[in-house]
Amino acid sequence: MQYGETLDDYAKIMLRHNAGDYACSWLFGDIHRNQIMLCEIGLNKSNIQTTTDGIFYGMNSAMDFELRSLETTDRTFNDLGDSSGARNARLDALLMDKYYGKIDINIAKQIISDHYDTTLNKIIPSSLTICKHTDLDPNAERPFYPWGCVDGKVTDSSMAQKMEFLGRQGPACGKAFYVKKYLKEHPEYAEWKQVLRDMPNYKWVKL
């Protein structure tokens, strides 16, 4: 980012000699121009959008239909039974409807800590929620698999001006994870013992 003066400069840098490796949403903000950018890069297709009055979000899927259809194998964008599709639906509801025009640091923390499962229409941490908890989900493709959200980060323009953000290690919601307890309940994943680590309830800290 230090090599560009504007978001347009940065998009050009990203596109130059691009190999199309990861066609999903890269999100940027320019606090000096009050502008945000959605940057999606395929091999031959790209989707660059900027605005000074709106919202962009990402969930490991390309937002642009043509890029997604022609240059990826992703067919989960609108699939509520898939993590990307479920998060897409929930993020759209929260960002474009419930909290539109109201988002601040505290609401941002609520959004990335959200446990609403769009397939069950209720609040329950699962593999399909924004704050992902596959380790708690009996209905996941691999039930109770040790996988999910492992950190949370939020910032706003005033914090970004000082190169600051709020961060939390572990699930964004703060729910603790203890290896011994988890493996006692799910011995089928005992082979993970050597790499799993406890994640107690860490507090939000300013970095």
pLDDT digits (tens, 9 = 90+) for 20-67: 777 888 999 999 999 999 999 999 999 999 999 999 999 989 999 999
Cβ 111 vs Cβ 102: under 8 Å: no
Cβ-Cβ contacts under 8 Å for 78 (sequence gap 6 or more)? 85, 88, 89
Instruction: Please give the distance of CA 172 from its chain centroid, rounded to a whole number.
Output: 11
pLDDT of residue 23: 81
Q: What is the model's pTM?
A: 0.92
Cβ 74 vs Cβ 84: under 8 Å: yes
Structure tokens at 39: 């940057």
pLDDT of residue 84: 94
Cβ 52 vs Cβ 33: under 8 Å: yes
Read off the pLDDT of each residue in 95-118 and give the average, rounded to a whole number.
97
Task: Please enumerate, as own/partner, the contacts of 32-41 that have beta carbons within 8 Å and a separation of 24 or more.
Answer: 33/6, 33/7, 34/157, 35/7, 36/7, 37/7, 37/10, 37/11, 38/63, 39/10, 39/11, 39/14, 40/64, 40/67, 41/14, 41/15
Residues counted in the chain: 207
Report the distance separating Cα 121 and Cα 117, nearest Å.
6
Residues of the chain with CATH 3.60.60.20: 77-207
Architecture in CATH for domain 77-207? 4-Layer Sandwich (3.60)
Going by pLDDT thresholds of 50, 70 and 90, the confidence category of residue 122 is very high
